Every structure is written in C-alpha cells, then in structure tokens.
C-alpha cells in the first residue's frame, strides 16, 4: 500500500469518528471524500482538510501523529516505502495487541484496506 487515507465522520451527538484505510492508488472519490491523504512513496501530504478548512502541514508531522495512534499501520507503510524513520519494534502481547495500549484504543475501528 502507498497511501494512508483518513475520513472524519460526525455522529449525531457531536462526536467525531475517523475511518482510516490504505490504498495502492488514489481514486477520484478518495480525493473528494477523504479529509487527509498521506503519500508514503513521495512522503507528502496529498490532502489535509479539517472541518472544511485546508490545513497547511507537512508529511513528517502528520505521519508522527498517526504513528502514535496506529503504530502497526504506519510502520508497515514506512517499511514498504523505505521511509527513513525507523520505528522501534512494537511489544505485541499474546493476544496480538500492542502492549501498553489502553482499552479505549483497543475499541477503535481497525483500519480498512483496499483489495486489488
């Protein structure tokens, strides 16, 4: 996978959820509906829009932010595209969860991936 896509959804109660996915290539719908698109091959931010406002940010800042939330996914994208940031090995428990993750983190939806 080359791209990390993030789409924000506002629930009726006002809570904002995010849907994270990866993709080999961008589709026109991705450019229209995703709030954030990171290109791990070119190491650039393709799109970053929060609540309708374009946010001026850089790839490293956004990648580091999402590394804290989705460490396994970001490490996989970095490995695949030869990122210069070397993530430390993650301590994985017997249940396959990242050690030290709070129960709230475990309830986050898993990232969705495109299938070719």
pLDDT tens digits, 6-45:
999 999 998 999 999 999 999 999 999 999 999 999 999 9
pTM value? 0.70
Domain count within the chain: 1
Query: 22 with 6: CB under 8 angstroms?
Result: no
* Strand (E) or helix (H) holding 79: helix 71-80
Residue 49 above 70 pLDDT? Answer: yes
Residue of 81 and 59 predicted with greater confidence: 59
Q: What's the pLDDT score for residue 81? A: 85
Is the model's pLDDT at 87 over the cut of 90? Answer: no
- Contacting residues for 91 by C-beta, under 8 A, at least 6 apart: 98, 99, 100
What is the residue range of 37's domain? 3-113
Residue 45 bridge partners (DSSP): 38
- Strand extents, DSSP E, 1-116: 3-10, 16-23, 36-39, 44-50, 53-54, 112-113
Which token pair is 66?
Answer: 């999402």
**pLDDT score for 103:** 44
């Amino acid at each position: 996978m080359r791209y990390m896509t993030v789409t924000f959804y506002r629930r009726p109660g006002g809570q904002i959820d995010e849907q994270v996915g990866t993709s080999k290539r961008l589709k026109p719908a991705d450019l229209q509906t995703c709030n954030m698109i990171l290109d791990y091959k070119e190491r650039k931010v393709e799109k970053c829009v929060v609540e309708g406002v374009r946010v001026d940010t850089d790839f490293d800042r956004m990648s580091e932010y999402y590394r804290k939330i989705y460490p396994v996914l970001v490490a996989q994208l970095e490995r695949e595209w030869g990122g210069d940031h070397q993530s430390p090995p993650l301590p994985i428990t017997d249940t396959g969860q990242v050690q030290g993750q709070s129960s709230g983190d475990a309830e986050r939806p898993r990232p969705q991936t495109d299938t070719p």
